[in-house]
Structure 1
Amino acid sequence: MNKTAKTILISVIILGLIAFIVYPKVKKEVTEEENSPVPQSSQALEVNAVVAQSQKLDNDLRVTGSLTSNESVVLKPEVSGRVIQINFEEGQRVKKGQLLIALDASEVRAEIDKLNFTKKLNEDNEYRQKQLLKKEAISQEEYETALTTLNTTLAEIRVREVQLQKHLIRAPFDGIAGLRKVSPGSYISSSDELVTVYSINPIKIDFSVPGKYAAQVNEGDKLQFQVDGYENELFKGSIYAIEPQIDPSTRSISIRATSANKENKLLPGQFAKIRLTISTFQEAILIPTEAVIPELNSKKVFVSKNGKVETREIETGIRMSNNIQVTSGLNNGDTVITTGILQLRTGMPVNLNLIPLNE
């Protein structure tokens, strides 16, 4: 065997050995590839979904406001004088007309006593003049002079009695007395504050809403609100007055409501979180907000029908914290997909995990 033939023989033997070693591995890889699962795109995607159902929906407007007293007044004296009596306890209920503070009025009373003596003298003189006039012993003019003197005295007494009442500070309405700002013996003038009286049952709620809701808010509308200190309690009230103009600086309209406050839980100055229902839909379809896909000029959702994905173009209405109202494009009972939105394509099979609608 020559050298060339020997070289060829050795090459063939080496190639045979390589084929013997490599073939089983290649065959195994081909077999594994043939037995591998179908591509991911052909598998049903696991998604969450909710069933769209009609339900009652309140269109609530949430705003903030402040509580104010039904009535409140800072009592000040009309005359100067020295405080001789304080007839109330701070923080206690007072009745309309109740004497709260008395000022020294001894001088006015002395003047009234003096005028009463003058009145008696003038009454006697008027009586005598009347009897003489009947006998035509005096003229009509003389009698009228005596009568005028008597009437003048009576008028002066009434003036002094009014002055006397100004020394007695009384409650203008039923309410609660605040903290007094004077003490017995204090000399006060007409500019000094004595005490504030509050009427807080019912209590008022002042708030504003954007002007665009002006046509939807009416007197008598009901509202609910919460205040600090009673976070777990929901108070109720009703609108009784609406400002007849929109504030040009804020473009909002001022509203005032009242609420019963028999237990005095609500106090003037408290911050209120208000929920005002401006309209109600008896049959509204709600879906989770994350299910809605915004597009350039429309919105759409994915629904599942017979295990396959379909696309629906929708129109929406009221948006809430978690859900949104669908006004068209969905029917009662449609299954709306809420997860895997980026992976979904029309016609794709899906496995549904139905979840309840989160309120």
Structure 2
Amino acid sequence: MKKFIIWGLVTVGAVVLIMWKLNANKKANEAKTAFVKESNSGDVPVLIQRVSTNDFSQGFLANGNFAPIRELSYLAETSGRITRLLVDEGSVVKQGQAIAYIDGQIVSTDLSAAKANLDQLRVDKERYEAAFKTGGVTQKQVDDVKLQYDIAKSNYEAAGRRVSDTYVKAPISGVINKKYVEQGAYLSPGTKMFDIVDVSRLKLAVAVPESQVVTLKKGQKVKVTSNVFPEASYEGTITFIAAKGDNSLNYPVEMEVGNVSGKELKAGMYGTAHFEAPTAAKTMFIARTAFVGGVSSNEIYVMEGKVAKKRKVIAGQIIGDQVEIRGGLNEGDTVITSGQINLTDGTPVVVQGGNK
């Protein structure tokens, strides 16, 4: 009898427990259904940003390496043996300064012979011209002697040039950076003799992105610094802006940089160009997250009253997590920066946290 009562009580308790659990689940499901129904028919929570314009400097930095303003490799223009070598590596030379002498005995003899031949033909030409006036010679004979005289004159000038080439002179001012010959060496035309570089001024070549190269112009002054002399400032002048960029849409820009006495920069050193805008421009920026499907879409949502409205804008340059807006927004507009995935044009929205 006792066992029957115990089993009865256990059965009743189990039934009560099952009924209570079913009732609790029902209430939970009803609550979830009500929440979903409320979410589907209610306002979508979003984050917003008030649009404002601020002063924005267009200045930027670009790095590159210094190169000499001029450099060349001097090649021998005549044959002969070097009799005197007047410079060494590191020597400073002026344009037109003699830097070597080449044995010119043979070419000097050629010059003397060419001059003697020219003098003789000059006398012959004058004699034939005088004789032609009296009918002593024909026009053909006069023309022939004039031709011989012109050829002799050209030969004399060429011989004089060869003699001049035995005096090797610096074609530019600069420094002998490399010497390839020694005194006593025999030269042939085209033999490399010296590398000469002019570092009185330098060139700095940098690459500038497309969004910034449009702010530059030839002749513009640029501040230039170097890690070697961080305390010094050098003045550069833009001399070249490429008309075509590379595959990364960077444009080569070159500037001429004056050296500073006592703190001379050398070719190959690292330099930084400081491109500065004369005045700060009023610019409008919004968060990058405001764009639907990425900045390239040029689509955002703005909050008008309590609804979201899709709007087309014109995006400019991207700086960090901010995007420049060049059209489509006005100062004071409210841009939605989060929650766009749940939005369509005209969807009611509410600002998270209640801040508007």
Structure 1: gaps (5+ residues): 1-53, 286-293, 299-316, 330-344, 348-359
Is contact 1:222–1:277 with CA below 8 Å preserved after alignment?
no
SS at match of 2:276: strand
What are the superposed Cα offsets for residues 16-56 of structure 1, whole Å, 9 maximum, x if unpaired?
xxxxxxxxxxxxxxxxxxxxxxxxxxxxxxxxxxxxxx997
CA deviation map 1:31-90 (0-9, x unaligned): xxxxxxxxxxxxxxxxxxxxxxx9976332122111111111111113333212223354
- Determine if contact 1:222/1:239 at 8 Å carries over to the other structure: yes
Q: In 2, Cα distance between the equivalents of 1:104 and 1:192? A: 15
Please give the secondary structure, in 1, of the residue aligned with 2:77. coil
CA distance in structure 1 between the partners assigned to 2:199 and 2:229 by the alignment: 17
Match of residue 160 from structure 1: 159
Q: Distance in 2 between matches of 1:98 and 1:105?
A: 18
Does the CA contact (< 8 Å) of 2:58 and 2:281 recur in 1? no
- Report the structure number with the largest CA radius of gyration: 1
2:251 is aligned with what amino acid?
Answer: I
Q: Is the 2:111–2:159 Cα contact (8 Å) retained in structure 1?
A: yes
Q: Which residue of 2 aligns with 1:23?
A: none
Relative to the length of structure 1, the TM-score reads 0.60
* Partner residue in 1 for 2:120: 121
Q: Is the 8 A contact 2:62 2:206 kept in 1?
A: yes
SS state at 2:87 partner: coil
Which residue identity lines up with residue 142 of structure 1 in the other structure? Q
* Contact 1:76/1:190 (<8 A) preserved: yes
Matching residue of 2:255: 257
Offset from partner CA, 1:115-151 (integer Å, 9 cap, x none): 2222232223233323322332222322333333222
Q: Distance in 1 between matches of 2:57 and 2:288?
A: 28
Q: Partner of 2:111 in structure 1?
A: 112
Superposed CA offset, 1:291-340 (max 9, x none): xxx89649xxxxxxxxxxxxxxxxxx9969xxxx9x978xxxxxxxxxxx
SS for the counterpart of 2:272 is: strand
Distance verdict in 2 for CA 1:113–1:61, change over 3 Å = same
Spell out, residue by residue over 1:85-106, the C-alpha distance to the aligned partner (whole angstroms, 9 max, x if none): 2233543432222222222222
Q: Distance in 1 between matches of 2:230 and 2:260?
A: 18
CA distance in 1, matches of 2:56, 2:89: 48
1:215 maps to amino acid: V
- The CA distance in 2 between the partners of 1:135 and 1:114, in whole Å, is 33
Q: CA deviation at 1:184?
A: 0.8
Instruction: Provide the residue aligned with 1:15 in structure 2.
Output: none
Percent identity reads 15
Aligned letter for 1:158?
E
SS at match of 1:200: strand
Q: Report matched runs for 1:84-233 at 5 Å.
A: 84-233=83-232
Q: In the alignment, what sits opposite 1:61?
A: 60
C-alpha change, 1:127 and 1:114, in structure 2 (3 Å) is same
| 1:267–1:159 Cα change, 3 Å | same
Q: CA deviation at 1:230?
A: 0.4
Identify if the C-alpha distance between structure 1 residues 254 and 137 changes in structure 2 by more than 3 Å, giving closer, same or farther. Answer: same
- Please report the RMSD computed on the Cα atoms of aligned residues, expressed in angstroms: 3.7
In structure 2, the residue matched to 1:74 is 73
Residues 271 and 128 from structure 1, CA distance in 2 versus in 1: closer, same or farther, beyond 3 angstroms? same
Contact 2:57 2:279 in 1 (8 A): yes
1:212–1:139 Cα change, 3 Å? same
Rounded Cα–Cα distance in structure 2 between residues aligned with 1:149 and 1:242: 54
Q: Which amino acid aligns with 2:255?
A: A
Distance 1:115 1:153 in 2: 7
Q: Does the C-alpha gap of structure 1 residues 73 and 126 become closer, same or farther in structure 2, counting only changes over 3 Å?
A: same
- C-alpha displacement of 1:181: 2.1
Cα 1:238–1:120 change in 2 (3 A) is closer
Q: 2:150, 2:252 → 1: CA distance? A: 53
Rounded to whole Å, the distance in 2 between the matches of 1:55 and 1:261 is: 38
Structure 2 gaps of 5+ residues are: 1-52, 292-316, 325-329, 333-352
CA separation of 1:93/1:253 partners in 2, compared to 1, >3 Å: closer, same or farther? same
